[in-house]
């Protein structure tokens, strides 16, 4: 039987770590509150900070910030060492959206070598200088959407060895050098949506990448694409050509993309003729999805099938290269099966960041609390005087 003194000592021994832990929580919260900029909100003991309506990047931050959101502020320029000089070396997520940023100096991101996600969307950025992203080999997601970028130097992404997702949508891009992404061996997705003046070549390769699986060039006023356009995209699985000016698609494009599983052609002026019928049948035979978010390709010509889902091509018969429709083709409809959006964005990083911070902490507390209760229960059970 353990003596009362033994029980007392064991109880104190078990209680001391709890007391130290809660004391640490109180002091940590007070320290974070003191260091948190007045225009910001600090969460998760200062590991995540969000600031808005600021005229500059605050100077003082908690020492363990992993995620920083700067939104709707008036920050027209990002100067060299902007984050390193503020002690933000451990950043994993950085979001600078709707901030009126116009210029980014070379060296802006010095010191934050572990950054995984960077968003600079909805600003006034017109140029990305080469070496801007130097030493950022950990970067996984880059969002430069909704700016006024017209041209990108061929080496602007040099060194981003782990970059997987790039958003260049809603800019004013005129053309892309075919080798712009050639050194990015882990690249998976490129979004170029709504660049209305972007030139899509038909005589040479548009993009050279043997890892790219998703390409979105919707809303770019594309009128023609060829086999050469996508010849160096052997890993492509999703191709979005919706909201363009296409009349048809060469079936040989599909034949040169062996992994293609999604092809979106909605909101084009499709000519549902014998050539497009071959494309339709290829998609059916190879289980290539063509309906997304309840939007599907529709015929523009010939007039008898105008506005009808392109599945009507199944009811067409080609004679001497002319197509004739038969049966009740006007009632052709399709079944829509929702799918999960494959394009990731920085909100995933915020969610994962919170998850990876909270789960280990709560797990340690749970295990420790359970062990303490079990030990106390054993002591009380063994000591009848208690």
Bridge partner list, 49? 42, 68
Query: 270, 274, 279: which is closest to 300 by C-alpha?
Result: 270
Q: How many domains does the chain have?
A: 1
Asked whether the CA dihedral 350, 355, 361, 365 is positive or negative, the reply is positive
Bridge partner list, 48? 43, 67
Quick check: is 7 in a domain? no
Burial environment of residue 145 by CB neighbours within 10 A (0 to 12, 13 to 18, 19 or more): buried
Query: 282, 343, 278, 277: which is closest to 305 by C-alpha?
Result: 277
Predicted confidence at residue 264, as pLDDT, reads 97
DSSP H helical ranges for the chain: 4-35, 251-255, 274-285, 346-382
Q: Report strand pairing: 93-97 vs 77-78.
A: unpaired
Quick check: is 9 in a domain? no
The residue segments making up the domain with residue 326 are 41-366
Give one word for 160, left, alpha or beta, with left for phi > 0 and alpha for psi -120 to 50.
beta
Predicted confidence at residue 63, as pLDDT, reads 83
Bridge partner list, 166? 142, 190
Strand ranges inside the chain, DSSP E: 40-43, 48-52, 67-71, 77-78, 93-97, 103-104, 117-119, 141-143, 165-167, 189-191, 214-216, 238-240, 262-264, 270-271, 299-301, 316-319, 322-325
Residue 181 to residue 178: CA distance in whole angstroms: 8
Q: 302: how many CB neighbours lie within 10 A of its CB? A: 15
Quick check: is 377 in a domain? no
CA atoms within 13 A on the CB side of 139: 25
Give the N- to C-terminal CA distance of the chain in Å, as an integer.
Answer: 11
Quick check: is 30 in a domain? no
Predicted confidence at residue 330, as pLDDT, reads 82
Predicted confidence at residue 332, as pLDDT, reads 77
Quick check: is 238 in a domain? yes
Quick check: is 378 in a domain? no
Q: 255: how many CB neighbours lie within 10 A of its CB? A: 12
CATH value at residue 338: 3.80.10.10
Predicted confidence at residue 346, as pLDDT, reads 47
The mean pLDDT values, 10 residues at a time, for the chain of 386 residues are 62 59 46 72 86 87 91 93 93 96 96 96 96 94 98 94 97 96 95 97 95 98 97 96 97 97 97 96 96 91 94 93 89 69 49 52 63 68 64
DSSP-based three-state secondary structure for 67? strand
Quick check: is 280 in a domain? yes
Asked whether the CA dihedral 354, 357, 361, 364 is positive or negative, the reply is positive
Tens of pLDDT, residues 244-281: 999 999 999 999 999 999 999 999 999 999 999 999 99
Quick check: is 270 in a domain? yes
Tokens 């007392």 sit at which residue?
A: 8
Q: What global pTM score does this model have?
A: 0.82
């Amino acid at each position: 039987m353990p003596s009362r003194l033994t029980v007392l000592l064991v109880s104190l021994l078990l209680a001391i770590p709890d007391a130290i832990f809660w004391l640490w929580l109180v002091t940590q919260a007070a320290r974070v509150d003191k260091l948190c900029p007045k225009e910001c909100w600090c969460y998760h003991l200062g590991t995540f900070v969000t600031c808005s309506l600021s005229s500059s990047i605050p100077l003082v931050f908690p020492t363990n910030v992993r995620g920083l959101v700067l939104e709707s502020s008036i920050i027209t320029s990002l100067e060299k060492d902007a984050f390193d000089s503020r002690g933000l070396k451990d950043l994993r997520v950085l979001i600078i959206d709707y901030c009126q940023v116009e210029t980014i100096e070379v060296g802006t991101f010095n010191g934050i070598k572990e950054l995984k996600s960077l968003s600079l969307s909805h600003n006034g950025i017109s140029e990305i200088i080469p070496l801007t992203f130097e030493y950022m080999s950990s970067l996984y997601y880059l969002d430069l959407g909704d700016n006024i970028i017209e041209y990108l130097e061929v080496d602007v992404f040099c060194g981003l060895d782990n970059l997987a997702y790039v958003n260049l949508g809603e800019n004013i891009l005129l053309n892309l050098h075919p080798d712009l992404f050639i050194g990015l061996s882990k690249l998976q997705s490129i979004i170029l949506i709504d660049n209305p003046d972007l030139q899509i070549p038909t005589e040479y390769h548009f993009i050279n990448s043997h890892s790219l699986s998703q390409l979105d060039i919707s809303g770019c006023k594309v009128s023609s694409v060829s086999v050469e356009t996508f010849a160096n995209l052997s890993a492509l699985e999703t191709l979005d050509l919706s909201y363009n000016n296409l009349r048809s698609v060469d079936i040989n494009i599909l034949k040169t993309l062996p992994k293609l599983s999604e092809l979106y052609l909605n909101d084009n002026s499709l000519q549902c003729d014998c050539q497009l019928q071959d494309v339709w049948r290829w998609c059916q035979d190879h289980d290539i999805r063509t309906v997304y978010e309840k939007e599907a390709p529709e015929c523009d010509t010939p007039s008898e099938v105008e506005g009808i889902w392109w599945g009507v091509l199944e009811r067409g018969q080609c004679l001497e290269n002319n197509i004739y429709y038969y049966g009740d083709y006007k009632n052709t409809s399709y079944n829509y099966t929702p799918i999960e959006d494959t394009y990731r964005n920085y909100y995933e990083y915020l969610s994962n960041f919170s998850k990876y911070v909270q789960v280990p902490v709560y797990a340690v507390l749970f295990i420790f609390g359970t062990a303490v209760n079990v030990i106390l229960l054993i002591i009380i059970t063994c000591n009848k005087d208690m």
